[in-house]
């Protein structure tokens, strides 16, 4: 069980402010525990302020690479945490959206939780896909052409989504499984 | 100039947490200064925690009426402030969305700023309308059938929208003007 992601390189997004702490920390630990190496990628390097329950300041974490330094080609998989302000912030950054779109174009697995799917709406990659999210995003996802379902964890051809921090155990188990499988050609076909 | 809203009754929304303080305070003062009486309407009565720049706690303000106690029939106009977390919170409440939709069905003027238009997307009232918002909402507004433009203040048949706190002076002047005009029949036709 412990080394199924050995040798894999994974990117996790971190907004300058407002990423939900537990949705950053727990998935990062899950893939590292499975042997992956992880880069924290963001808009600017340096310390980023996470939040707990959206409005209470959490710990700070370091952004290691900026979007201008990396591309989806450098990684095997991507994790997009939520946090209302953080997810809104990332979707507003063209380089972030372009980076996310690259994983879909290259058929690489992606795990997204809570408000994270706003970035997928912005990248125009939800059309024809089935996914979940924090419930307030369901209209945006349907209007973007996706099918929204209310389930703990949803897997659709390499795209793994969950609703909120309460789903993290199931989300983390599933991203490790999907990331270990590698490329999903259906992911690319729909991008 | 000072009494153009004399006798008018206006509702302003306030989320339990995360409404942007200045987007609540300044429009409320503007319509009160013009003679209107204002009810602060929210999901639950009691103190609500506003934010400054989304993540810094602002002052608390009192929610005077809940959505279950009121309807659009009770008011002449509506103001919807932003704040990322507050606006996301309000769109997730069915009673809030239904309350907002009522103003469109009754052709009553509505002023919405920043992240506030998410509630309009949720109420499905942006189709065929021209509006602005905080830029991160532009894809959601277009996907919902609206035309998104990047202007300080946009007026479309009783619907007044602005982008961010920097637009508040123009926004406040325009809502007083539109609210004074009263009903806009085109507003109802497009709902």
Beta-bridge partners for A49: A17, A60
Q: Which of A115, A129, A174, A184 is catalytic?
A: A115
A1: in domain: no
Mutation pick from A52, A55, A146 vs chain B, by most beta carbons of B within 10 Å, is A55
* Separation in Å, CA of A94 to nearest CA in chain B: 11
B160: in domain: yes
**Residue A71 DSSP one-character state:** -
The total number of structural domains that make up chain B: 1
Name the H helices within chain B.
21-33, 84-91, 94-105, 118-123, 138-143, 168-181, 185-189
Could you report the predicted ipTM of this complex, rounded to two decimals?
A: 0.95
Q: Taking CB atoms and an 8 Å cutoff, what residues of chain B touch A91?
A: 136, 139
Q: pTM for the complete prediction? A: 0.96
Q: Give per-residue pLDDT as tens, B164-175.
A: 999 999 999 999
Q: Which of A43, A72, A110, A114 is catalytic?
A: A114
Q: Which pLDDT belongs to residue B155?
A: 98
Are B18 and A92 an interchain contact pair (Cβ–Cβ within 8 Å)? no
Q: Which pLDDT belongs to residue B190?
A: 62
Are B115 and A143 an interchain contact pair (Cβ–Cβ within 8 Å)? no
Q: Can A115 be counted among the known catalytic residues?
A: yes
Q: Which of B8, B28, B91, B115 is catalytic?
A: B115
Q: Which pLDDT belongs to residue A127?
A: 98
Are B135 and A92 an interchain contact pair (Cβ–Cβ within 8 Å)? yes
B2: in domain: no
For residue A188, give the nearest of A102, A86, A67 by alpha carbon. A102
Q: Would you state the structure tokens that stand for residue A123, as one six-digit string?
A: 């990248």
Using 50 as the pLDDT threshold, list the residues of chain A that sit under it.
none
Question: Nearest by CB to A84, which of B57, B88, B143?
Answer: B88
Q: Which chain A residue's Cα is nearest to B56?
A: A55
For residue A18, give the nearest of B180, B115, B25, B154 by alpha carbon. B115
The DSSP string of B37-57 is EEEEEESSSEEEEEEETTTEE
Cβ atoms < 10 Å from Cβ of B59: 13
* Separation in Å, CA of A118 to nearest CA in chain B: 9
A window 146-185, beta carbon within 8 A of B: none
User: Between A186 and B150, whose confidence is greater?
Assistant: B150
A56: in domain: yes
Residue span of the structural domain in which B111 resides: 9-180
Residue A37 is inside which H or E element, if any?
strand A37-42
Are A49 and B55 an interchain contact pair (Cβ–Cβ within 8 Å)? yes
Cβ atoms < 10 Å from Cβ of A120: 28
A–B: how many Cβ contacts below 8 A?
59
Q: Which chain A residue's Cα is nearest to B143?
A: A143
Which pLDDT band, with edges at 50, 70 and 90, does B183 fall under? confident
B165: in domain: yes
Half-sphere exposure of B171 (CA within 13 A, CB side): 32
A191: in domain: no
A57 touches chain B (CB under 8 A): yes
Q: Which chain B residue's Cα is nearest to A91?
A: B136
Which pLDDT band, with edges at 50, 70 and 90, does B189 fall under? low
Q: Give per-residue pLDDT as tens, B58-102.
A: 999 999 999 999 999 999 999 999 999 999 999 999 999 999 999
A130: in domain: yes
Q: Would you state the structure tokens that stand for residue A160, as one six-digit string?
A: 């793994």
- Does residue B1 surpass a pLDDT of 60? no
A52: in domain: yes
Q: What is the mean pLDDT of residues B17-29?
A: 98
Domain of residue A156, CATH code: 3.40.50.880
Half-sphere exposure of B88 (CA within 13 A, CB side): 27
- Does residue B191 surpass a pLDDT of 80? no
Q: Which pLDDT belongs to residue B4?
A: 95
- Strands A46-52 and A56-63, bridge-based pairing: antiparallel
Q: Can B114 be counted among the known catalytic residues?
A: yes
């Amino acid at each position: 069980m412990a080394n199924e992601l050995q040798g894999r390189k994974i990117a996790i997004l971190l907004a300058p402010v407002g990423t939900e702490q537990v949705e950053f920390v727990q998935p990062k630990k899950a893939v590292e525990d499975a042997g992956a190496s992880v880069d924290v990628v963001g808009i600017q390097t340096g310390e980023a302020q996470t939040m707990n329950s959206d409005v209470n300041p959490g710990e700070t974490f370091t952004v290691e690479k900026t979007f201008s330094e990396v591309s989806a080609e450098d990684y095997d998989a991507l994790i997009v945490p939520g946090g209302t302000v953080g997810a809104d912030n990332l979707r507003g950054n063209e380089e972030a959206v372009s980076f996310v779109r690259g994983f879909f174009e290259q058929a690489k697995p992606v795990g997204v939780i809570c408000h994270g799917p706003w970035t997928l709406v912005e990248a125009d990659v939800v059309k024809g896909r089935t996914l979940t999210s924090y419930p307030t995003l369901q209209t945006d996802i349907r209007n973007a052409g996706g099918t929204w379902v209310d389930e703990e964890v949803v897997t659709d051809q390499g795209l793994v989504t969950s609703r909120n921090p309460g789903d993290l155990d199931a989300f983390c188990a599933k991203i490790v499984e999907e990331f270990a499988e590698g490329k999903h050609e259906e992911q690319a076909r729909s991008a």
